[in-house]
Chains A and B, each alone.
Chain A
Amino acid sequence: MSNEHIACPRCDALYPALPLKEKQIALCSRCGCKISEAKADSINRTIAIAIAGLLMFVPGISMPMVGATLVGQHAEVSLVDCLVMLLQKDFLIVAMGLFLFTIAIPAIRLVTVLYICLAIKRNQVNQTHRQFFRSYHFLDSWAMLHVFFLGVSVALYKLAEYADIALNVGLAMFVGLLLCSIFTHITLDHHYVWETLEQASDA
């Protein structure tokens, strides 16, 4: 019974589960919410993007993103520097928010997708992968790399008025990381992963 039907995540309307062809999307006819989507070459693409993202992760957060020069003094700052500054000034809650939303959660999500997709690709799926993938869903809306990037842009725009601004390699790395984080979300076919995880451990 339960594999023959799908339900809308937003309004709980029940539909018969029709097999989707590649790139087809199932929409709810009552509330318009997307129910599921069959994505092309999901596992391979996701692995590639997750590896790219992880490569850019360390330079993205630790290399200087932007620099400013004022009255002959030059300062450069990376994401980690922001965190250290907040900790030194005892803004513990803000520091924790910054650490979780821009460092810890994006890292966990990239590692999780890579781990799951590699396991599926090599047909070595077991029970623990379910726990892992569940955590991925739990952290879905808490990654805020995109917001931090907008924050960098706004801060630069403000500073450009009275200081000389320089963009550094760290910023390019960070943007790459941000794009990879978004693209894994786009390429990963949740429905397919769950079906595979289920079949593998039932067999």
Chain B
Amino acid sequence: MHKTAKEHGLARCPKCHKLQPAIQNYMRCRRCHGHFYLRHPRSLQYTLAWTISALIMFVPANLFPIMIYYELGVAEPMTILEGINSLIEADMFPIAFIVFTASFFVPLAKLCGLIFLVLATYQKLTFSRVYSGKIYKIVEFLGPWSMLDVFVVALSGALVKFGIFTNVQPAPGATYFTLMVVFSMFAAHSFDPRLLWDKKNND
């Protein structure tokens, strides 16, 4: 029932949304003059590569402390999970929930979602395309929120400088965490959701 623009020999510019005749797979948009692909030929490979890079970064991001908390000269390094644990011990459940969601659950869910989308496209899974499209939308939306913990560390580090009494300093985990977020956003941008629908027509 639904014909795609591609089947009509039309290509849609991803930036300015202009439909134009698809002369070749890699072309220059008539309206905004940007270069774009009708379908990126290696969209899945790029997505998978960025996702794996992000997964690799996820390990040091959680193993290394994200900040070091000094109290009366005693250093207490904290990883993300230890930080969440200390929030739970201090009975700050809502904030513990937000931090856990933004910095642990969301990145993992995002990467799992991307791997699922790549597999669903590659294996031509007969899974609902509408559902997969929604997963993609959620993955794209969640992208920036994982930076939360890095911003918290940056702000605490700049604010809490009370000499010998209390001091907060950022630690290497923050760097890996930033890289993880950036890589997973690149992964989400590399994925072309239209590939999900293209396959259906070939079946």
Interface centre among A33, A146, A191 (most CB of B within 10 A): A33
A165 CB, min distance to chain B CBs, angstroms: 9
User: What residue in chain A is nearest B134 (Cβ atoms)?
Assistant: A32
**Across the A-B interface, the 3 shortest Cβ-Cβ residue pairs:** A151-B151, A7-B5, A85-B158
Per the bound structure, the CA–CA distance linking A3 and B8 in Å amounts to 14
Name the one of A5, A36, A70, A134 contacting B165, with C-beta atoms under 8 angstroms. A70
Name the one of A11, A13, A67, A134 contacting B15, with C-beta atoms under 8 angstroms. A134
Binds B, one of A87-95, A107-115, A118-126, A176-184: A87-95
Told that A12-B4, A94-B150, A151-B152 touch, could you supply 13 new A-B pairs with CB distance under 8 A? A2-B20, A5-B10, A7-B10, A75-B160, A82-B157, A89-B157, A89-B169, A133-B32, A134-B15, A141-B140, A142-B185, A151-B150, A194-B16
Binds B, one of A45-53, A54-62, A155-163: A155-163
CB contacts (< 8 Å) of A2 on chain B: these are 10, 18-21
CB contacts (< 8 Å) of B198 on chain A: these are 12
Per the bound structure, the CA–CA distance linking A187 and B87 in Å amounts to 39
Name the one of A14, A68, A97, A159 contacting B147, with C-beta atoms under 8 angstroms. A97
Convert B129-151 into 0s and 1s, putting 1 for each residue whose CB lies closer than 8 angstroms to a CB of A.
11001101100100111011111
Convert B147-172 into 0s and 1s, putting 1 for each residue whose CB lies closer than 8 angstroms to a CB of A.
11111101111111111011001100
Tell me, yes or no, whether A18 is within 8 Å of chain B by CB.
no
CB<8 Å pairs between A and B, sample of 11: A5-B10, A10-B137, A10-B193, A11-B196, A71-B165, A89-B169, A98-B150, A141-B185, A150-B148, A161-B90, A161-B92
Q: A12-B194, A141-B143, A158-B92 are in contact. Are A151 and B10 (CB under 8 A)?
A: no
Q: A2-B18, A134-B15, A141-B144 are in contact. Are A13 and B3 (CB under 8 A)?
A: yes
Per the bound structure, the CA–CA distance linking A102 and B178 in Å amounts to 14
Asked if B99 and A10 make an inter-chain contact with CB atoms under 8 angstroms apart, the answer reads no
CB contacts (< 8 Å) of A73 on chain B: these are 162-163, 165
Report the interface size for chain A: residues with CB under 8 A from the other chain: 71
Q: A5-B19, A6-B19, A77-B159 are in contact. Are A31 and B133 (CB under 8 A)?
A: yes
Per the bound structure, the CA–CA distance linking A3 and B151 in Å amounts to 44
Q: A130-B33, A157-B92 are in contact. Are A82 and B155 (CB under 8 A)?
A: yes
Per the bound structure, the CA–CA distance linking A99 and B163 in Å amounts to 27
Per the bound structure, the CA–CA distance linking A1 and B5 in Å amounts to 11
B148 CB, min distance to chain A CBs, angstroms: 5
CB contacts (< 8 Å) of B148 on chain A: these are 147, 150-151, 154
Convert B7-28 into 0s and 1s, putting 1 for each residue whose CB lies closer than 8 angstroms to a CB of A.
1101010111111110000000
A167 CB, min distance to chain B CBs, angstroms: 12
Name the one of A86, A141, A147 contacting B157, with C-beta atoms under 8 angstroms. A86
Asked if A81 and B158 make an inter-chain contact with CB atoms under 8 angstroms apart, the answer reads yes
Per the bound structure, the CA–CA distance linking A180 and B145 in Å amounts to 19
Q: A7-B4, A89-B157 are in contact. Are A137 and B16 (CB under 8 A)?
A: yes
A163 CB, min distance to chain B CBs, angstroms: 8
Asked if B197 and A31 make an inter-chain contact with CB atoms under 8 angstroms apart, the answer reads yes
Tell me, yes or no, whether B42 is within 8 Å of chain A by CB.
no
User: What residue in chain A is nearest B169 (Cβ atoms)?
Assistant: A89
Asked if B155 and A155 make an inter-chain contact with CB atoms under 8 angstroms apart, the answer reads yes
CB contacts (< 8 Å) of B15 on chain A: these are 134, 137-138
Tell me, yes or no, whether A172 is within 8 Å of chain B by CB.
no
Per the bound structure, the CA–CA distance linking A163 and B129 in Å amounts to 51
Tell me, yes or no, whether B175 is within 8 Å of chain A by CB.
yes
Asked if B152 and A12 make an inter-chain contact with CB atoms under 8 angstroms apart, the answer reads no
Asked if A31 and B159 make an inter-chain contact with CB atoms under 8 angstroms apart, the answer reads no
